[in-house]
Every structure is written in C-alpha cells, then in structure tokens.
A and B are shown apart, each in its own frame.
Chain A
Amino acid sequence: MIKTPFAYKMSISVGMLTATFILFCLNLAMGSVYIPVKETFAIFINGHSDNVIWENILLRTRLPQAVTSAMAGMGLGIAGLMMQTLFRNPLAGPSVLGISSGASLGVAVLVMATGGIFHISLSNMGIWGELSIISASMLGALLVLMVILGISQKIGGTLSVLIMGVMFGYLANSLVGILKFFSREADVHNYVIWGLGSFSRLSMQKSFFFAGAVFVTSFLAFLLSKQLNLISIGDRYAMNLGVKVKHARFLIILVSGMLTAIVTAFCGPIVFIGLAVPHIVKYLIRTSDHLYLISYTAITGMAVALLCNLIARLPGLDSNLPINSVTAFIGAPVVISVILHRRKHKSDAE
C-alpha cells in the first residue's frame, strides 16, 4: 500500500473546497427560474439588482437554501463520523441514537395536539407555527438525548448504549404511529410534510442562525478529536493513555446528539448524509486521525448536501423533489461502491 502523502491530502482538500464552492454557486445560479450567471454575480457584489424579482429569488430563497443545505450536510456528516467511531460500527449514523425519532415525536405531539385539541393548523400560523415546530422538535430530540446520556453514565458498555438508542427510536416511532392513528387527516398531512425533510424552510435570518449553531457545535466536535482518536483504538487502551473514557463518551454523545438535534429541528429528519459522508471521507483520505477526518467530513458533508439539493431542484422540474429521496439515491450507491472498493483493496494487500 502506498502511503498517503501530505501532498495527496492537500490536493484532496483543495479539490473538495473547490467542489463545494462550485456547488454552492450552482445552487445559487440554478433553479426553476432562469437567472443569468452574470446577473447572479452582480446581485451578490452590488447587493441589489434592477430586477427585484431576481433579487428576491436569490437572496430570499436560493441563498438561505444553499446555506442551510451546506451547514446541514456538515453537521450531519460530523455527527455520523462521531457515532461511527464511538460505536465502532460503520452502520452508525446520526439517527442511530433515536435522536431524530425523538424530534419526530416532539413534532408529532405538537402538530396533532394543536390540530386535535385546539383545532389550529400550524401551517396557517406563519412564523409562530414554524418556530413552535422547531422548538418541539428540539425538545423531543434533547429529551431523548438526555435519556441516552443518563443511560451511558449508568451502564458501561458502548454496545448497550447503541441498542438503547435504537430501541428509543422504535418507541418514539410507535408513539408517532399511535398519534397519527387518532389524528385528523390534515394534521397527519402536516406532519408527513415535515417528516419529508427540506432545506428550503428557513428564511435568511434563520438560516444564518442555523449556520452559526451548527458551526459552533462542529467546532466542539473538532476539540474532541484527540479523545475520538484514542477511543477508536479501544476503550482500555484509551484509558491507559489517560482518557477518562466515560467522560469522553458523554461529551461525544452530547456533541453529536446536539448536531443531530439542531439539524433535525430546522430541516426535519434528513437521512443518509450522516451515514454516507464519513465513508466517502475515509475512502478519500485513509487516516485514523480525527483532526483530519472531522475537517474533511465538514467540507465533504457540505458538498454532498449541496449536490443533493441541486439534484432535488433540477431544471425542468416545477417543484422540488423530496430531499430524502435524493440523499438516499445518492448515498446508498456511494456507500456500496466504497465498501466494494475497500474489499478489493484489502484482498489486494493480502
């Protein structure tokens, strides 16, 4: 096996950054309404345009959507990477701890309770409806996160935490199912729409707030990279190298759980990005050092989410495809091919 030289890593990072930048620009330039590229640049450089409609489309729709998708991709990718390392399981992802299911439960309770009891439809409430959905989802996600953290402090094994998380996911989903059964059709419809996930719900201000929250939490993940490295060797080796394993596990679950909760609250449950992106990164740069892995996952996560968002709004389509269909459509083949490639490499070496 050839070593991964520094130059190779650099070229990958330059390539990834360029790809992300180009995808970001394409997200701005392409859409159901045609805006000339020259005009797009003009609007961003001058801050305004003669064509108010174009200006509105760019600044109020496409820019927040691009920012949201990029940051969601980054957050989910990092959360997935941390989960895969902590649980030493390539199938782990942000959804594995039942945190997004918790968010779903929060939203389901809110949507169906307001509809069924107060006969209010949240979709008619504008900004307040939107905010309450975000809060409910955040609350549900954090509630599950707290329970998981409590369990992880009580019981020793990582595997038991993983199983508990998956079980909580099932529990939350079954509660959602029961709620749906007793709810009005309109409310179920509202919930289903939320559950499809979307990068296009946030306004400019909210998308920047979202970006800030994801960025700060991701930075915390970056600070945990040394602990992640040592835990990936094995719990007892980590302990012998001076890591307080229980403490570190708590922080890793907390940070990755927060990332998942934030993204799910603002965009709804987004599948596959958190699972697929770490695999792409580990294939591109073969290292165990999380300082690199987290940085590359952040950039690659952005690129993949932007690509998915772009495909969801391919020119010629009147409306957006559901983002989760696109992420799965892109993610599954990527994971499959990465694993096939890795098998081939391994048998080459042997």
Chain B
Amino acid sequence: MQNKSYDIPENNLLSTHPLVVLENVSIGYGNAKIVARKLFATIECGRVVCLLGSNGTGKSTLIRTLCGFQHALEGQIVLNDKPLSAYSPQKLSKELSVVLTDKVDIANATVEEFVAYGRSPYTNFLGQLTDDDKTIIETAMVNCRIIHKRNEYIANLSDGEKQKAVIAKSIAQNTPLIILDEPTAFLDLPARVEIMQLLRMLAVKANKAILMSTHDMDLALQMADKLWILHKNGPITEGCPEDLLLSGSFNTLFGESNITFDIKTGLFKVFHEYKYVLPVKGHGFHYTLLRRAFARNGINLVQAGEEKALLLEINPQNPDVYSFYADNILLQSTNSIEKLLGIVIQKLSTTHSTAKHQENSSYDHLF
C-alpha cells in the first residue's frame, strides 16, 4: 500500500502537473481583515518551494490557509485536482502533513512514539501499529537521521533534533505534500543546512512536494527549486530563484527598508548612509573586506582617481597590506583593519570637520 522505502529511482523530475494550485486566493480573517489578495501560484511534485516575504505580509496566514486550518476568503485552493475545502479531516490527513512553529512539548513521548503518531490516519480506532506501520516509522527516522535517538524523550532533544523528529513524523504520515512553517528558525547554521538538505533529498527521492516558509534568504536561494515571494497585500511572485534574481524581484521584497539587493553577489546588503568618501588603490578580497568595514562606519571607498589628498593603498605582497597616505606622506602601514579604521576616522574628522559639516548636516544624527 505505502512505499516502504524512499529508494525510488529519481522519477518525475520534470513533472509539471501541479499538485497544489492557488487560483485568485484571498487570505485573512473574516472580510474585515484581508491580509493578501489575488494570489496565484503552484507547487509541483518533487520540488522544494520556499515562501519568502517580510514580516506582516501574511506568510503564516497563507501557510495556515494551505494547511486547511482556516478558509480562503476568496478564490480556490486545489490540492490533487480537488478543492481543499472538499476534503474531510481524515482525507486531508493523507494528502498533506505539517511541521508547525507550535512548540512540541509532549510529556514522556520518546522519538519513536512521537513519529508513530504520524501513522494515526492509517491506524485503527485504538491507534495500533501494524508491521507495515513500524517499517515506515523506522524508515522515516532513518531518513531524518534521528534513528539513533529513537528511545530518547522528545523533551530532552536539542532544537535541531526536535525539528528532525517532527519532520520524521510528517514523513511517516506519508503524504504527497509537506508544508513547513519556518522549520529552520531557532537553528544554528549546520542544523539549518542539514534540515534543508533533508528536505531536498525527500523532494528528489520520494517525489514529495515541499512548501516551506523561511526568512533564510541565502539558503532559500541555494536550495529551493522555486520561490514564492509574497508581497504586502499580494500578489505572489513565483519562479526559480535565478530567474527572480534576473528580473529584480528581490528589490521589492523588503519594501522601503534600508536593504538593497546586490545582483553581483546574490546577497542582501544593508544600505549605509555615507558621510565620507575615500579613494583607494587595489582590489580583491582585501578590498571587499575593507569596503565592508568602512561602509559600516559611514565611509564610502571609491577607486582612486586624480585626487590624492588622502589615499588608501592595498598591496597584498607587503607584510603590512594596508597603507594610508595623506598628501603622499605615509601615515600608517598596518595589517589590521581595526587599527587602520581608527587612524582614518581620526584623520578624516580633523581634515573634513569644517568643510563637510554643512554638506552632511542631515546625517549628523547618525553619528
């Protein structure tokens, strides 16, 4: 009846028939509070979809609506060619499983007991497990790399292990769709990467459709097959991360906050207000680091032109990489950016104190 193992050949990689379709969906609470409207999007089998959006755009509301915990106010959500609202709780429990942000604090449950509860849509009214069920539970724990903790109590697990146990539970539920609400929040980087790799493995090997909301932009860009970017009040921009990068969709993600998207690095950058401009000679990794440190302190580094009153020079061959000149006189030569920064700021504030003051008076409150 159920597939006992996920060692299925990598099938359906190019499947395009969507498992989930959002058709002009509006979400919110009652008619008075519509959070987002006119949402169109799809999820295909075997794909990891990451839902991105800044706080307050309605990510959680959308997740809850897709889980069937609350109704869509308008439009229709289609799951497996049937409207979501047409599923009974029992039927739905075999179609989609969830990993929620709710704290799982079940007293005295071992990992195995907990994962076994994922089988309850298939067990009898007393919840007794068959041999098939036990195999599926075991496989789920193996796949989530939590099998070594099977007899450990949930309460004694770390956050990352707890999350793996919850994911194992939803795998044991054996549904084509898994929805996860911020599964990597509160986890450290290795644990986040591990969870993401696990989800990718599930999507590819077990042909699951996976939707997860996240704030983890870097990981989403690297791991997702598709992104849903939820804008305030709707709509959703969907597409593969690279296409969205090219089309500049990320610049609107955080609205009018001080964050810009650096198309060259594919990373988000905090926008700094600059008070000073300083010419610099040199490039490479040392330059990138220097630029970042100086930007943080309100100093914009530009490639040196004619102006030579103040100059920074980067020479990786020298024992002291950074040299700071004023009117062609070497003021400081050092390997430490921190030290350099101190001297530069001191120099800048004395030479520019009168000239720059009026120009940049509007920034004064920043310092």
Contacts and interface: CB of A to CB of B under 8 A. Distances in A.
Contacts, number: 91
A246 to B, nearest CB: 11
Contacts of B110: 3, 287
A348 B69 CA distance: 39
Interface string B77-99: 00000000000011011101110
A10 to B, nearest CB: 17
B56 interface: no
Contacts of A230: 117, 120
B45 to A, nearest CB: 20
Contact of B107 (A2, A232, A239): A232
Contacts of B121: 241-242
A236 B98 contact: yes
A288 B120 contact: no
A34 B301 CA distance: 101
A69 B209 CA distance: 56
Contacts of A1: 151-153, 156
A91 interface: no
B173 A236 contact: no
Interface stretch (B122-130, B265-273, B332-340): B122-130
Contacts of B156: 1, 346, 349-350
A229 B127 contact: yes
A237 B100 contact: yes
A233 B105 CA distance: 7
Contacts of A229: 117, 120, 127
B109 interface: yes
B93 A233 contact: no
Contacts of A242: 89-90, 92-94, 120-121
A223 B128 CA distance: 12
Nearest to A226: B127
A225 B120 CA distance: 12
Interface string A271-304: 0000000000010001111010000000000000
A240 B106 contact: no
A234 interface: yes
Nearest to B122: A242
Nearest to B181: A236
B53 interface: no
A242 B98 CA distance: 12
B113 A288 contact: yes
B40 interface: no
B153 A286 contact: yes
Given A1-B156, A230-B117, A287-B108, A236 B93 contact: no
B126 A288 contact: no
A244 interface: yes
B220 to A, nearest CB: 24
Contact of B126 (A241, A243, A291): A291
B109 A288 contact: yes
A302 B68 CA distance: 43
B275 to A, nearest CB: 49
B102 A234 contact: yes
Contacts of A226: 120, 123, 125-127
Contacts of B21: none
A223 B100 contact: no
Contacts of B127: 225-226, 229, 289, 291
Given A236-B98, A240-B67, A240-B98, A288 B125 contact: no
A255 B106 CA distance: 22
B34 interface: no
Interface string A128-139: 000000000000
Interface in B170-185: 173
B114 interface: yes
A142 to B, nearest CB: 27
A288 B106 contact: yes
A241 B117 contact: yes
Contacts of B345: none
Given A1-B153, A240-B97, A241-B121, A225 B113 contact: no
A112 B2 CA distance: 65
B256 to A, nearest CB: 34
Contacts of A236: 67, 69, 98, 100, 102
Contact of A346 (B106, B152, B155): B155
Q: Which of A241, A282, A350 has the most CB of B within 10 A?
A: A241
A6 B105 CA distance: 24
Nearest to A243: B89
A282 B108 CA distance: 8
Contacts of B89: 239, 242-244
B178 to A, nearest CB: 11
B160 interface: no
A239 B64 CA distance: 12
Contacts of A237: 98, 100, 102, 104
Contacts of A287: 108-110, 113
Interface in B51-87: 67-69
B60 to A, nearest CB: 12
Interface string A214-250: 0000000001011001101110110111111000000
A286 B173 contact: no
A175 B118 CA distance: 47
Nearest to A288: B109
A350 B156 CA distance: 7
A241 B109 contact: no
A223 B125 contact: yes
Nearest to B121: A242
A16 to B, nearest CB: 17
A349 B108 CA distance: 13
Contacts of B114: 233, 288
A225 B153 contact: no
A241 B92 CA distance: 8
A223 B105 CA distance: 24
Contacts of A282: 107-108
B26 to A, nearest CB: 22
Given A226-B120, A226-B125, A229-B120, 15 more contacts: A1-B151, A1-B156, A2-B151, A3-B110, A88-B105, A225-B126, A236-B98, A237-B104, A240-B92, A241-B120, A242-B93, A243-B89, A282-B107, A287-B113, A349-B153
8 contacts: A3-B110, A223-B126, A237-B98, A239-B89, A241-B117, A242-B89, A288-B108, A291-B127
Interface of A: 1-3, 88, 223, 225-226, 229-230, 232-234, 236-237, 239-244, 282, 286-289, 291, 346, 349-350
